[in-house]
Structure 1
Amino acid sequence: QTNIKLDRDRASVVTLTVHVVDVTATPQQTGTGNLIINILEYNDQHPQFLPYNNVTIDEEQPIGTFVMALLATDQDDPIAEYQIIQNPDNFFAIGYQTGVVSISSRVDFEEVEFSQFTAQVWDSGTPRLGNTTTVYVTIRNINDNSPIFNQGAYTVRIPENSKGGKFVTNVFATDKDKGDYGVVRYALDSEETRFTINNISGEIFVAPGAKLDREELRELDIQVTAYDSPLDAVVRRFSTVTVYITLQDENDNPPKFNQPEYLQQIIETIPIYTHVLQVFASDPDDGNNARLQFSKVPGSGDPDNFFAIEPTNGRIRVDRSLLRNSGTYVFHIMARDEGGSGPFNSTAKVTIIVLEATNSPPEWTIPPLDNMTINVLEEQYLGMLVYDVEAKDSDRNDNGIIDYGFYVNGVYTTITNEFRINPITGVIRAEKVYDRETRDRYLLLLVARDRGDPFLETTRYLSIKILDVNDNDPKFPTNSNGETKEIQFEDIDENKPVNSSLGRLLGSSFEAKDIDDAQYSKVFYYIISGNEKGYFRLIPETGDLILTKRLDREEQSVYLLDIQATNNISDYTVIRSRRRRAMDPSIATWRIQIKNANDVRPDFTQNLYHGCISVRSSLGQSILKVEAVDADSVGSVTYSIQQGNRDNAIGIDSRSGVLYNAVLMNSYGGQTFDLKLRATDQGTLYHNTTALIFVTEPTRQVKLVLKQPATEVRQFFEQIKKSLQKLTLQNGDFIFDYVCATQIVDHVLDDGQTTSIWSDVYISGIRRNYNGASYYIYPTTELLNLLNQQRSANSDQFDMLYIQNIEAGNAEKNYLDRTPTMVVMILVIILIILALLFLLLACWCIRSRRKQKEERLRYKSSFRGGYDPSFQQVPEFKIYDNSGFQNDEPVPREPMYAKVGKGRLDERAPEPIPQQIEEINVEIRDASPDSSPPPSPPPSPKDTPRLSEPAEEDYRIETEVM
Structure 2
Amino acid sequence: MGVSLESLPEAGRVQYSIVSGDPEGFFAVEEEQVGGISVLHIRTKTGLRDVLNRERQSSYTITTTAEIRSSTNVVYSATTTIHVEVEDTNDNIPLFFPDSYTVDAPEDLLLNTRLVQVKAHDADSGRNGEVYYYLSDAMTNLFAVHPITGVVSLTRSLQGHITKEFHIKVLARDRGSDVEFLRESAIGQADVTVSVVAMNNSPPKIAVRHLPSVVEHAHAHIYGIITVTDPDDGPSGEIELVEIVDGDHDRVFSIGRGEKPNEYNLMVLRLLDRELAPAGFNLTIRATDRGRPRASADKSVSVVIADVNDHAPVFIPKEYDVSISEEAPPNTPVVRLFAIDSDLGKNGEVTFEIVSGNPDRKFEINSATGVISTADWLDAESKSYFSLTVAAMDSASPAVRRQSTTGVIIRVLDSNDNAPTFLNIDDVVEVNENEPAGSFVIRVAASDSDSSENGFLSYSLVNGNQVPFTIDPFDGIIRTAKVLDFETGKKSYTLRVKVSDWGQPYKHETQTIIQVTVKDINDNRPQFLTSDCSGWISVNTHKDRPIVTLKAVDLDADTRVRYQLIGNTNRDCWFIDPDLGTITANCNLRAAVLLRARTKTVMLNVTASDGRYMSDPVMVTLNVYDPQYNDPENMYYARDVTCRPNEIAREYIDVELSAHVTEMSGNEEYQAIQPYVSENFHAPIISSKTPISVEVPENALVGSEVLVIAATDKDRSFDGRLVYAIASGNIDSVFEINMITGVVRLSAALDREKRALYVLNITVYDSGQPRLSSSINVTVQIMDINDNAPQFLRFSYHLHLPENMKIGTSVAQLQAVDADEGNNALVTYKLISNTRQFRLNSNSGILELVAPLDREKIDQYELKVRAWDGGEDERRYSDVVVHITVLDINDCAPDFGAAKFISISVPEDYPVGAVVAIMQATDLDVGQSAVVSYSFVEDDNANFRIDKETGVVRITSPLDFEKTRLHNLTIKASDKGFPPLHSFAQLIIHVEDVEETIVTHEFKQRIARGWIRENEPPGTLATTLAVSGERHPRLQFAITDGDGHGYFAVNSRGKA
Fold in common (TM above 0.5) = no
Q: Normalising by structure 1, report the TM-score.
A: 0.39
Which protein has greater RCO, CA pairs closer than 8 Å, 6+ apart? 1
Q: Normalising by structure 2, report the TM-score.
A: 0.36
Larger helix percent = 1
Which has the higher Rg, Structure 1 or Structure 2? 2
